[in-house]
Amino acid sequence: MSEVILAVNDVTKSYGDNKALKGMSLELKSGEILGLLGPNGAGKSTLINCICGLLKPDSGNLKMFDLDLKDDRQLIEARAKMGVVPQEIALVEELSAYENCMYIGGLYGLKGGELKDSVEEALNFVDLWDRRKDRPGKYSGGMKRRLNIACGLVHKPTLLLMDEPTVGVDPQSRNYILESVRQLNDEGTTVIYSSHYMEEVEALCDHIVIMDLGETVAEGTFSSLIAEVNDTETINISLAKPIDDTKVLAEIDSIPGVTNVENNGTELSVISERGNNNFNEIIAKLGEFKQDFTSIDLARVSLEDVFLDKTGKKLRD
């Protein structure tokens, strides 16, 4: 049994009338990578900012170890063990990469040789040591992201909060970042990783919290989440031409076991209960309406399906 590092209990936060968090609770165990998955506006950043104390929650409790994060004194104490990689790139333009890390690292109380060594380690970790003398202005988007991460790592936090660290990054840097998170975790860092990319969360996280509109919609491991929706399957069909007669959609929808039909141009996506063998019936219906198709496939169940199942919406857009 690993110990609970962080306990978030029924936290609410509103911006005016907009309830960004409607009573979020979660528990984080030492050594986990917790994935916060949700579309834009789900409240991921608001939750992370409540944890690191940037925002004061309207109600609810936050505890890290024994420290009450709603108390200013204890919050400051907790922050020494907490690293934050903000969603927005927060680097001082006039300082070199090295100086940025020195600056932030020093604010966690590191000094002298210890600070220098830690900065070197952090910059090596994100593979920017050779470019340490450059200012962020000379960096690519992916390098800025990596430096942004390094700044949050200098003081070797026990708990690392990463808010969408791969947004706007080239695939190469993205893989590098994912790999780094895994490595940090192997070395013992507990991580909260927020993202709206289900592939990242699937690949990285042992413990997944799916959020929407300020609430948890599902929580568990990847396999337990998939198991929850495993009674449905998604059939994706590429049509030769857009649908002429929308009656076909209604007819497919009325096939027993079909729970959802979505059509977008030549893309048709049907969710159906597993085991009904609706595959053939759908093809038959399309034939009836002279609707040719170029490909058809039975999609692997993903977190996307979990999200769709729980909220009736797609994760992206």
Ligand X SMILES: Nc1ncnc2c1ncn2[C@@H]1O[C@H](COP(=O)(O)OP(=O)(O)O)[C@@H](O)[C@H]1O
**44-73 residues near ligand X, rule: CB under 6 A:** 44-46
CB 53 within 8 A of CB 75: yes
Question: Does 92 interact with other proteins (rule: CB under 8 A)?
Answer: yes
For residue 93, the SS3 value is coil
Pick the closer one to other proteins by CB: 109 or 265: 109
Cβ neighbors of 123 (< 8 A, separation 6 or more) are 97, 98, 101, 129, 132, 150
Bridge partners, 263 (sequence order): 268
Q: Which of ligand X, Mg ion, other proteins, none binds 46 (CB below 5-8 Å, type-dependent)?
A: ligand X
Pick the closer one to ligand X by CB: 46 or 100: 46
Find the length of the chain: 317
Question: Does 38 interact with ligand X (rule: CB under 6 A)?
Answer: yes
Question: Does 100 interact with Mg ion (rule: CB under 5 A)?
Answer: no
CB 303 within 8 A of CB 211: no
For residue 210, the minimal CB distance to ligand X (Å) is: 11
CA 50, distance to chain mean position in Å, is 17
Near ligand X by CB under 6 A: residue from 4, 10, 40, 175:
40
Written as one letter, the residue type at 12 is: T
**137-166 residues near other proteins, rule: CB under 8 A:** 151
Near ligand X by CB under 6 A: residue from 5, 11, 20, 218:
20
Pick the closer one to ligand X by CB: 15 or 172: 15
Near ligand X by CB under 6 A: residue from 15, 17, 171, 187:
15
**47-86 residues near other proteins, rule: CB under 8 A:** 49, 52-54, 72, 76, 79-80, 82, 84, 86
**225-244 residues near other proteins, rule: CB under 8 A:** none
Cβ neighbors of 230 (< 8 A, separation 6 or more) are 274, 301
DSSP 131: G
Bridge partners, 7 (sequence order): 27, 63
For residue 235, the SS3 value is strand
Question: Does 91 interact with other proteins (rule: CB under 8 A)?
Answer: yes
Q: Which of other proteins, Mg ion, ligand X, none binds 238 (CB below 5-8 Å, type-dependent)?
A: none
For residue 40, the minimal CB distance to Mg ion (Å) is: 7
26's enclosing H/E stretch is strand 18-29
Near other proteins by CB under 8 A: residue from 7, 89, 255, 296:
89
Please work out, in degrees rounded to the nearest 5, the angle formed at the alpha carbon of residue 84 by the alpha carbons of 80 and 90. Answer: 120
State the burial class of residue 62 (Cβ atoms within 10 Å of its Cβ: 0-12, 13-18, 19+): buried
* Rounded CA separation 40/33 (Å): 21
Question: Does 88 interact with other proteins (rule: CB under 8 A)?
Answer: yes
Question: Does 45 interact with Mg ion (rule: CB under 5 A)?
Answer: yes
203's enclosing H/E stretch is helix 198-204
- Total residues contacting Mg ion by CB under 5 A comes to 3
Question: Does 167 interact with other proteins (rule: CB under 8 A)?
Answer: no
**Contact set with ligand X (CB under 6 A):** 15, 18, 20, 38, 40-46
**Contact set with other proteins (CB under 8 A):** 49, 52-54, 72, 76, 79-80, 82, 84, 86, 88-95, 99, 102-104, 106-109, 151
